[in-house]
Amino acid sequence: MHRTIFLCLGLLSQAQVLADPPPQERQETLRNMLRHDCGACHGLTLKGGLGPALLASDLAAKSDDYLVDTIQNGRKGTAMPPWKPFISEQETLWLVQTILKRH
Ligand code: HEC
């Protein structure tokens, strides 16, 4: 009995690094945004354009924090705009982890 509880706690604390997935409808909105809004600069298939490629293999070496910060605040002096007014930090983390295929 106790062992089961500890096992579950262990799994829970590991899972905490993953963002809570937004509700299904919001997930679709965010995926559409990624394709169309982000895709306008990063390419419809995210292979790059005005902005760099955003495929899992391109971003794998970068930390979640760094990527979330870039998306939330944009990059001053470049075309990358801040998305803070449109998506929350949790949603941004979910998006990053979706791009990285961790969800
Ligand atoms: C108006 C054009 C534009 C749009 C729209 C845009 N980006 Fe960018 N993005 C850029 C540019 C340009 C850079 C490169 C900035 C630099 O030189 O540091 C960039 C950089 C990034 C980076 C950093 C990549 C790396 O390898 O460090 C991420 C992540 C990113 N964008 C994600 C997004 C996401 C997610 C969206 C949509 C929510 C988005 N961008 C929309 C232009 C854009």
Instruction: Give pLDDT, residue 103.
Output: 84
CATH number (domain holding residue 39) = 1.10.760.10
Residue 8 domain-assigned?
no
Domain that holds residue 35: 24-99
The residue that leads in pLDDT, 69 or 17, is 69
Residue 7 domain-assigned?
no
This prediction's pTM: 0.86
Please determine, for residue 44, whether its predicted confidence score (pLDDT) is greater than 60. Answer: yes
C-alpha 26: how far from its chain's center? Answer: 14
If you take atom 42 of ligand 1, which residue's CA is the nearest one?
Answer: 80
Domain count, the chain: 1
| Ligand 1 shell residues, CB under 6 Å | 33, 37-38, 40-42, 50-52, 54, 62, 67, 70-71, 75, 78-81, 83
Each residue's pLDDT tens digit, 48-88: 999 999 999 999 999 999 999 999 999 999 999 999 999 99
Contact 91, 26 (CB under 8 A): yes
Alpha helices in the chain (DSSP H): 2-15, 24-33, 39-42, 56-59, 64-73, 89-99
